[in-house]
A = this chain, B = another copy of it.
Amino acid sequence: MLLTGAISFAASADQQDASPIYGVRLPADYRQWQVISVAHEAGSLNDIRVILGNDIAVAAYRNGQRPFPDGTVLVRVAWKLVPSPRNDAIFGRAQSFVAGEPTNVQVEVKNSKLYGATGGWGYGQFESGKANPDAALIGTCNACHRKLADGDDLVFTHYSP
């Protein structure tokens, strides 16, 4: 009974750190990963974002390898896009926008066996390091990524040299 309790507790702690549906976790060292590209989503998101990749992702991008190999992990980090009055004053015109507060971090993991039903990809979204537990939200990821052309292997981002 004690053993069962311990296992249940571990599973519960586990779930807090992993996304619903896919069980994707935030990689511990993602903030040290290399840059794949950057982007800006306007409208209600109004963010500026960087897409980082682990070594497997970087190699696949540089070699043009598609589909991405198992073990590929991409992390999208986003911050609110905010004007910089300080920079604008120095530059003498209103033109400078910088990263404000972090919004969320999204992770996609390639594992063709584990995520075969979703084209080989699993997804997660993290706020302040915690997995967003909203299964309905996480369920939308793949539906949107599947709208990409086949050659993109369900990945929006291209490499920026």
> How many chain copies?
2
Q: Are A38 and B79 in contact (CB under 8 A)?
A: yes
Asked if A35 CB lies within 8 Å of chain B CBs, one says yes
Instruction: Other than A31-B161, A37-B99, A41-B96, give 15 A-B pairs with Cβ distance below 8 A.
Output: A31-B35, A35-B50, A35-B77, A38-B50, A38-B79, A39-B48, A40-B40, A40-B98, A41-B97, A42-B96, A43-B93, A50-B50, A87-B156, A90-B148, A98-B158
CB distance from A161 to the nearest CB of B (A): 6
Cβ contacts A to B, 13 pairs, < 8 Å: A38-B49, A39-B84, A39-B97, A39-B98, A40-B40, A43-B93, A43-B95, A45-B95, A50-B50, A90-B148, A91-B144, A98-B158, A102-B161
